């Protein structure tokens, strides 16, 4: 899978594709207008009168000038009207998508991470994860967007336009990926100290691969396989971690922070702030403020051996 940099001009889905078309249309027209204006300006400079020529305006000269101004105003009006029509048509088109039986995800923006919920009619089949959205290629997905604290904005340029997440006012956004790949997204509305570290990934997979992933996420956390992992789980459940996090299959069920049931299966930690490696995870847990100043996660104050056991356990949550 290739990792795509954020670009609204490298699109992988119908919604972003429409926006890209609009971008090129506006760019093309504006480029032509710019060149035309510059050409007229240069022509005017070349034709500047020499000082001994009469500066008195003539009737015929004024009529010619008025005709030019009139033509300029008409052309400007026509182009702006055309842009307006193109923008409205694009906006309408963003909601035109095959909707039958589409998968529904609820995305909640929080300071500073994303909660991802795969809805299901059966509550025991609902999957909750964080900062990584897996979607099946070629199938439309409806994202229900909400915020729990301040205004955030959901933006994955290769797949769709921005959509604000406003506390108390749920919105929706269709996305569809037409090819497999990993697409970067980020919060696009300043939402506090760690706004820049509020990233996420959209991972588009062939449907069969996606279904297997979702089935894996439905499972409870694996049982610890070693003494170190067992000790790590005890540390987790006895310390402050359990106050905020869920690990399904254990007594930890709080929803203040991200669900950690399958933490080790994710590519990044702290909403894209660091890659999900043992060292980064240990540094993050030992002192979250160092990795992400202002983060809501408190320092757990663990002895080094407990910290290492905890990290070993967290790394086993595949
Ligand atoms: Cu959330 Cu910026």
Q: Is 20 in the pocket of ligand 1 (CB under 6 A)?
A: no
- Given 196, 217, 238, the domain boundary residue is 217
Q: What values do phi and psi take at 248, rounded to 5?
A: -65, 135
Tell me: do 291 and 309 sit in the same domain.
Answer: yes
98 occurs within a structural domain: no
Q: Are residues 234 and 192 located together in one domain of the fold?
A: no
Alpha helices in the chain (DSSP H): 14-46, 59-93, 207-218, 227-238, 278-286, 288-291, 304-315
Residue ending a domain, among 217, 241, 259, is 217
Contact 117, 100 (CB under 8 A): no
308 domain-assigned: yes
- Locate 7 and state its tokens: 């670009």
CA of 211 to the centre of ligand 1 (A): 30
Residue 283 belongs to a domain: yes
CB of 187 within 6 A of ligand 1: the answer is: yes
206 plus 240 within the same structural domain? no
Nearest CA to 155 out of 112, 196, 186, 195 is that of 186
Task: Examine the domain organization and report whether 200 and 109 are in the same domain.
Answer: yes
Cα–ligand 1 centroid distance for 28 (angstroms): 32
| Co-location of 115 and 204 in the same domain | yes
Are residue 184 and residue 244 in the same domain, yes or no? no
Q: Are residues 209 and 111 in the same domain?
A: yes
Regarding whether 289 and 235 lie in a shared domain, the answer is yes
On whether the CB atoms of residues 13 and 178 are closer than 8 A, the answer is yes
d(CA 220, ligand 1 centre) in Å: 30
Distance (Å) from CA 191 to ligand 1 centroid: 4
Q: Is the CB of 107 under 6 A from ligand 1?
A: no
Q: Is 105 in the pocket of ligand 1 (CB under 6 A)?
A: no
Beta bridge partners of 69: none
Report the predicted TM-score, pTM, of the whole model to 2 decimal places. 0.86
Ligand 1 contact, 113 CB (< 6 A): no
Question: Would you call 310 helix, strand, or coil by DSSP?
Answer: helix
Residue 198 lies in a domain: yes
**Does one domain contain both 213 and 108?**
yes
Any domain includes 269: yes
Residue 112 is inside which H or E element, if any? Answer: none
Instruction: Kindly give the distance from the C-alpha atom of residue 200 to the centroid of ligand 1, in angstroms, as a whole number.
Output: 11
Q: Is residue 84 part of a domain?
A: no
Q: Are residues 124 and 189 in the same domain?
A: yes
d(CA 255, CA 244): 6
Is 272 touching ligand 1 by the criterion CB < 6 Å? no
- 187, 217, 247 — which closes off a domain? 217
195 lines ligand 1 (CB under 6 A): yes
CA of 294 to the centre of ligand 1 (A): 13
Q: Which domain holds residue 293?
A: 227-315
**What domain count does the chain have?**
2
pLDDT per residue as tens, the chain (318 positions): 344 457 888 888 888 999 999 999 999 999 999 999 999 899 988 887 666 666 677 888 888 889 989 998 999 999 999 999 999 999 888 876 666 678 899 999 999 999 999 999 998 899 999 999 999 999 999 999 999 999 999 999 999 989 999 999 999 899 999 999 999 999 999 999 999 999 999 999 999 999 999 999 999 999 999 999 999 999 999 988 999 999 999 998 899 999 999 999 999 999 999 999 999 999 999 999 998 999 999 888 899 999 999 999 999 999
Ligand 1 centroid from CA 246, angstroms: 23
Ligand 1 nearest atom to the CA of residue 151, by list position: 1
- Is the minimum distance from the CB of 317 to ligand 1 under 6 angstroms? no
Which residue's CA lies nearest to atom 1 of ligand 1? 152
Does the Cβ of 110 fall within 6 Å of ligand 1?
Answer: no
Q: Please tell me whether residues 134 and 204 are part of one structural domain.
A: yes
**Pocket of ligand 1 contains residue 295 by CB under 6 Å:** no
In a domain, 19, yes or no: no
Calculate ∠ Cα 253-257-260, nearest 5°: 65
Q: For residue 185, how far is its CA from the centre of ligand 1 (angstroms)?
A: 11
Q: Say if residue 259 is in the same domain as residue 189.
A: no
Examine residue 193 and state whether it is found in any structural domain, yes or no. yes
Q: What is the pLDDT of residue 64?
A: 86
CATH code, domain carrying 245: 2.60.40.420
Asked whether the beta carbons of 259 and 130 are under 8 A apart, the reply is yes
């Amino acid at each position: 899978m290739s990792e795509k940099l954020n670009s609204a001009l490298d699109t992988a889905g119908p919604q972003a594709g429409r926006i890209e078309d609009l971008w090129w249309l506006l760019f093309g027209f504006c480029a032509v207008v710019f060149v035309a204006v510059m050409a007229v300006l240069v022509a005017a400079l070349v034709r500047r009168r020499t000082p001994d020529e009469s500066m008195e305006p003539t009737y015929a000269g004024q009529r010619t000038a008025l005709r030019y101004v009139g033509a300029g105003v008409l052309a400007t009006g026509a182009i702006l009207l055309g842009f307006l029509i193109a923008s409205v048509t694009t906006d309408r088109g963003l909601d035109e998508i095959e909707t039958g039986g589409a998968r529904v995800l609820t995305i909640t923006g929080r300071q500073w991470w994303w909660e991802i919920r795969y809805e299901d009619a059966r509550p025991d089949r609902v999957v909750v994860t964080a900062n990584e959205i897996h979607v099946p290629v070629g199938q439309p997905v409806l994202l229900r967007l909400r915020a729990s604290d301040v205004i955030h904005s959901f933006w994955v340029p290769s797949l769709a336009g921005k959509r604000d997440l406003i506390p108390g006012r749920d919105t929706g956004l269709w996305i569809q990926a037409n090819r497999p790949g990993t697409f970067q997204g980020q919060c696009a509305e300043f939402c506090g100290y760690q706004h820049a570290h509020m990233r996420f990934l959209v991972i588009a997979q062939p449907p069969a691969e996606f279904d297997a992933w979702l089935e894996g996420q439905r499972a409870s956390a694996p049982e610890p396989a070693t003494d170190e992992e067992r000790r790590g789980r005890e540390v987790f459940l006895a310390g402050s971690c359990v106050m905020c996090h869920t690990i399904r299959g254990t007594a930890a069920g709080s929803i203040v922070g991200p669900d950690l049931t399958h933490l080790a299966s994710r590519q990044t930690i702290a909403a894209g702030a660091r890659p999900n490696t043992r060292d980064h995870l240990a540094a993050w847990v030992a002192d979250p403020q160092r990795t992400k100043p202002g983060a809501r996660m408190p320092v757990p104050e663990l002895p080094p051996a407990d910290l290492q056991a905890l990290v070993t356990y967290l790394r086993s949550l595949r």
